[in-house]
Structure 1
Amino acid sequence: MADDSPVQMRIYTLTKRQYLLVFSVFFAAFAVALIIGATGPTVLQETSETFEMRTNSSKVPYQIASPSLSKLDQQLWLLARFKRKENDLGVSLTFDFNVTLLISGGVGDDGKSIDSNHERVLKCERSDCEDLVLFHSSYIDYEVYAAAVGFQKAESLARGVHSVAFVWKYYDTTFTHFELWFRFAFLMMSFGATCAFAIALRRFKFKNWTIEQKWMSLLLFLLCLYNGPLEPLKFLISSWVPGMLDGIFQATFLSGLLMFWLCTLHGIRESKRGIFTFYMIKIILMFFIWLSAVTLSSWQQYNELEDPGFNTSLDTKNFIGFRIFFYIVVGIYALYLLYLIIRATVELRNMPYYSIRLKFLLFLMSIVLAVSVAVMVVRFGNAILEPSYLTSPKTEYQNFAEFLAFYSLLNFSMFTMAFVYSPSRLASFDLSKDASRSLMTKADDTGRLFSSQAISESEEES
């Protein structure tokens, strides 16, 4: 093998039976994760207290106390759930009013109080009214919270609503324990896969790595960050920093995965990969996606630090505008990805070594996208279209299977790619011999032979 020849990947030496075994292990591990998730603990707990609707609540507010909490309960919501009067059940109504909220946490000198006053809109369709998120905190700082809620300019609301139930919702402690243990297990597995992949490539020069191997080295590192090395700090220190960093790590990994798909689909058929001609448009596109994801995830946390009653529905103009921008950028990415898939399929379908790489990438990418979309539809549903979906409990994990499905899918798919893209034993053997000697080996179980020079030409790096 010449000094500038790319590293031969395991993907070229696997037989059809071995490919079947690799994907069987992948699907079996994913199925086991789903079974464990289906038998996992309850995610959200709630307690409620119901009051008759009254017109003088602004002067005599509703007094509600939360159940006893711990830091392991994670997030806390206070919802207002309205019940309509029976004589108006067939009519859709909208009520505008002001909500005054005084939240007190802790006891004595260790406690603090924060108040807010916001105009809210309640939409009622037939017999049901939407739940209003009055308060949301990403962190549990106190064992008990007390709330005083009043409604101003609510005369029409009092005429159309019979009663209101104030609901406290929070993550179950058992779920938090399971989440910590499984994220720690995925962290250890991803760290082991990263080390194994690095050890397998340590004897090869970086310039000889294929585009898949270079990206996998980065993605495996980002996967370790995605699995939450700072997750325990969220429960050990009273700070928003660990949670914010965890959100940034997750957005960075997902953006890196999207970037990997673009670069690999384009790079398989393009040997000249200049920073401006090849990478620049992809970097700009992914930067906007990453920035949008980080902003959307941190916007609510930033505002609720000062105002626990803040909700993205209160800043509809800016929030909807930014969300539309995010959807447009994602749409451009989808069209660009589809274009690269079509170009690669048309140009490489009759080239055996290129087509092997392309078919494997497209198959695994299709699985990841299909399962991810299914999990998002189940998890978010129509709630993603609501202005307050960032703080709505509807967008949280409703069962442990949703949590494990997404984490296991991304981790197991990364492990599968790391195995297939790792150097083959023939590549290691060839480096230990005379670099100019030609070596013939099998490409698949049909007995097709190819030379190392053919591999070099098919995977030549810029």
Structure 2
Amino acid sequence: MKLLIENWGKFQFVTFFITFTFLVAISLTIGGSGPYHYETRESAKETDQSKSTIFYLEATGLDRLNQMLFVESHFYNDNNFGFERTVEMSIKIWGSNNLKDKTIIPNVYGQVDEVSDKVWKLIQDTTHKRTVTCEKKDNCTRHTIIYEPYIHYQNYFVQIDAETEHDKNGFSEMYINTYFVNRSMAYFELFWRYAFVIIDIIVIAYLVRLFSGIPFRDFTIEQKGIAYLLLLLLFFNNPLWPTILLSHSSFVQVLDAIFSVTFFIGLFGYWWIIFDGLRYVKHSRTFLKTFIPKFIPLFGFWITFLIIFIWTRIHEKNDPQYETINDIPGFVIAHVFFWIFFAISFLGLIYSIIRGFKEIITNHPELKKRFYFFFTNFIIVFILVIVVLIGGFLPKIRNTALEFSATFAIMNVYIILNSLSYLPTRDTLNDLKNSAHTKLEDENNGMSDDSKSEISNDIELSNENITSSESNEKSESNDKSESDDKSESNEKSESNEKSESNEKSESD
């Protein structure tokens, strides 16, 4: 099947990449002017030489659009030396859905207070230790001390009693930050997801209509890969995402993670299979040779990633202060296998690229344009993904609308533009449809001829049966006639003999 890109010149290729860059740039501009992912409320206290410091925090007017609530603690070291301290955090959390008078606070001292107890409900009372490491003249390590994955109450009140094993010499300030998802960010994410879902569905419907009547086996390897990626992209955009806002179930969040992980693993597999498959003749791409060696490490990569995610979610639900940094033994095996499968997949991809360059340039020069186009797209998207991942560690980019829009825009623009670039030429499309139509007519005609032949055979067989039956009847009739004649002859002979005998007797 001849593709459009095989007829492209330099102008068309440059136009394609300019269009890609332009669409991604627009998305990044919109994302850069969008809302922050989290709203933050900060509380700070200067420390003295005592061992204990108590914080009181409030978060009011929340709803399901805020999605989650978590609290971080960090200290500041104002000295010229670094140190390490163990801090014990005693935490109490109250929730309320009927707070009409904001002057009413929870019963933090445990005394009898009927008014407060009717308004506020104690939902968490725990104590955990955290090891704080500080560099000189710098912020100390941050720790998540509260994590509520769902907003069950409109109002929260938190009491934190931070106590060290020694005095706080070295801690000049303590900070407690409360985070919850910005409502504007929830609307922003909802808009972008459904915009891409609608565009994706339109493209899928257009391609289904365009390729109707053409057998899937006649598609090129790029077209087959893009067909699967478009379906994975639909799940990546996740039309079920609003259920995360409406439900308090962990299942919908795990489902969203499965969609995202499956998409990225599928994209990685798409790159690997195309680079390796282009250098094979179409009929030599066997399932055992081309696909199984790639599915095994990719499936291991996928399953270990999900294990790590689900492990984290379960622990966060059971322990609001859970941190992976304090659960290293539980992650050792999963992380080891994760990086092993990733290394195998990545090295396999690099090997396929090198072999592809060598064999296609030497043995398949007619595929050079397709290979170079695919490789250029791969390099651009791969670099952009690495930039987004690195940017996710930068405070000004992490958890912002820019990070979200960059990820979704790059993936959607890349796959949708490529799906349109890998369309067949008009003549090729018409030839394929005519060929498929002719083949279908031949099959129908073949079926008609067979039917006629069967009917003719049935008629001949029926005629033979009728003829045979008539012949048998005639034979039986002849036999009966002969038998009757013979019987009459015998009777006549006997009668004559008897008559002659009687005459002779009378004569005597």
TM-score after normalising by structure 2: 0.76
What's 2:144 paired with?
A: 133
CA-CA distance at 1:186 after TM superposition: 0.9
What is the letter of the counterpart of residue 76 of structure 2? K
Q: Tell me, yes or no, if structure 1 residue 427 matches structure 2 residue 428.
A: yes
The aligned counterpart of 1:296 is 308
Q: Secondary structure at the match of 1:68?
A: coil
1:77 touches 1:170 (CA, 8 Å); kept in 2?
Answer: yes
Q: Which moved more, 1:158-167 or 1:183-192?
A: 158-167
Which AA in structure 1 matches 2:242? P
1:15-57, CA deviations, whole angstroms, 9 ceiling, x for partnerless residues?
3322222222211111111121222223322112223447564
Residue by residue over 1:389-432, the C-alpha shift from the partner in whole angstroms, topping out at 9 and shown as x without a partner, is xxxxx698343222211111100000111012223212222135
Partners of 2:149 and 2:317 within 8 A in 1:
no
Match of 2:83 in 1: 93
Measured against aligned partners, the alpha-carbon deviations of 1:256-282 in whole angstroms (never above 9, x if no partner) come to 000111111111112323333221221
The question of 1:82 aligning with 2:75 is answered yes
| SS of equivalent residue, structure 2 residue 80 | coil
Question: Post-superposition shift, 1:104?
Answer: 2.7
Return the letter of the residue paired with 1:355.
K
Change (3 A) 1:325 1:431: closer
Cα contact 2:31–2:404 (8 A) shared by 1: yes
Matched position secondary structure for 2:249: coil
Picking from 352, 357, 366, the partner of 2:370 is 357
SS in 2 for 1:8: coil
Which consecutive residues of structure 2, in runs of 5 or more, have no partner in the other structure?
98-117, 439-508
In 2: Cα distance, 1:110 partner to 1:151 partner: 23
Q: Please give the alpha-carbon distance, in whole angstroms, between the structure 2 residues aligned to 1:157 and 1:173.
A: 41
Aligned-residue sequence identity (percent) comes to: 26
1:333 aligns with 2:360: no
Amino acid at match of 2:57: I
From 378, 389, 407, the counterpart of 1:376:
389
8 A Cα contact 1:93 1:124, kept in partner? yes
Counterpart of 1:114 (choices 113, 119, 124) is 124
Distance 2:201 2:177 in 1: 41
Answer whether contact 1:200 1:423 (CA < 8 A) is retained.
no
Task: State the AA in 1 paired with 2:159.
Answer: A
Count how many residue pairs are aligned between Structure 1 and Structure 2: 413
- Please identify which structure carries the higher helix content: 2
CA RMSD in angstroms, aligned pairs only: 2.5
Contact 2:214 2:433 in 1 (8 A): no
1:155 to 1:306, Cα distance in 2 relative to 1, 3 A? closer
1:261 paired residue number: 271
Q: Partner residue of 1:158?
A: 168
Mapped to 1, the partners of 2:69 and 2:280 lie a distance apart of: 51
63-72 or 238-247, which deviates more: 63-72
Kept after mapping to 2: 8 A contact 1:26/1:416: yes
Structure 1 Cα separation of the partners of residues 26 and 7 of structure 2 = 29
Aligned to 2:223: 213
CA distance in structure 1 between the aligned counterparts of 2:235 and 2:7, rounded to whole angstroms = 32
Q: 2:3 aligns with which of 6, 9, 14?
A: 9
Residue identity in the other structure for 1:31: A
1:95 touches 1:157 (CA, 8 Å); kept in 2?
no
Is contact 1:397–1:403 with CA below 8 Å preserved after alignment? Answer: no
Structure possessing the higher radius of gyration over alpha carbons? 2
Q: Higher RCO, 1 or 2 (CA under 8 Å, sep at least 6)? A: 1
**1:249 alignment partner AA:** F
Q: Deviations over 1:249-305 (max 9, x none)?
A: 010011100011111111111232333322122111111211222223333222122
1:29 is matched with 23
Structure 1 residue ranges without an equivalent (≥5): 1-6, 382-393, 438-462
Distance (Å, rounded) in 2 between the aligned partners of 1:288 and 1:432 = 40
Task: Map residues 305-454 of structure 1 onto 2, 5 A cutoff.
Answer: 305-350=317-362, 351-380=364-393, 397-433=398-434
Hey, what's the Cα distance between the residues in 2 that align with 1:114 and 1:395?
32
